[in-house]
């Protein structure tokens, strides 16, 4: 009887310790999930794994010698949905379109391109 109670106690501790290890760990990186009239209206926090795959953040400086892509080479649905124009430079890498200010070479917007 004593061994049975001890076995139940060990099983209870083992079952309650498992969910704490499976919990997601969130970072301070955020990503816009909804745009309205050119402004972000909904954000979500990224997990550690998502933040590692995220790419360049807003504010990253590419520099004048970086190879930028023309507006015509970007996917047409992305250009029309996000109202992209000739007044910015663009970088298309790893499933993201980075909108770059041509004067400061800083990323001002990151757009997730659906595959």
| pLDDT tens per residue across span 35-61 | 888 788 988 888 877 776 777 888 899
CA quadruple 83, 87, 90, 96: dihedral sign = negative
> Which residues, 6+ apart, have CB-to-CB distance to 106 below 8 Å?
59, 60, 61, 62, 100
* DSSP symbols for 27-68: EEEEEEEEEETTEEEEEEEEEHHHHHH--SPTT-B--TTS-P
Give pLDDT, residue 89. 96
Render each residue's pLDDT in the chain as its tens digit; 115 residues. 777 666 667 766 666 655 555 567 888 878 888 888 878 898 888 887 777 677 788 889 999 999 999 999 999 999 999 999 999 999 998 888 999 999 999 999 999 887 6
* 10, two tokens: 């060990």
User: Under a CB-based contact definition with an 8 Å cutoff, are residues 57 and 110 in contact?
Assistant: yes
């Amino acid at each position: 009887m004593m061994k049975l109670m001890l076995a139940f106690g060990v099983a209870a501790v083992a079952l309650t310790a498992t969910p704490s290890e499976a919990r997601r760990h969130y970072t301070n990186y955020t990503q816009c999930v909804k745009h309205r009239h050119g402004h972000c209206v909904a954000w979500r926090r990224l997990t550690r794994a998502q933040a590692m795959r995220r790419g360049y953040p807003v504010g990253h400086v590419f520099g004048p010698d970086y190879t930028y892509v023309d507006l015509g080479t970007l996917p047409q649905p992305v250009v029309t949905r996000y109202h992209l124009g000739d007044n910015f430079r663009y970088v298309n890498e790893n499933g993201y379109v980075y909108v770059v200010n041509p004067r400061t070479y800083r990323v001002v917007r990151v757009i997730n391109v659906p595959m």
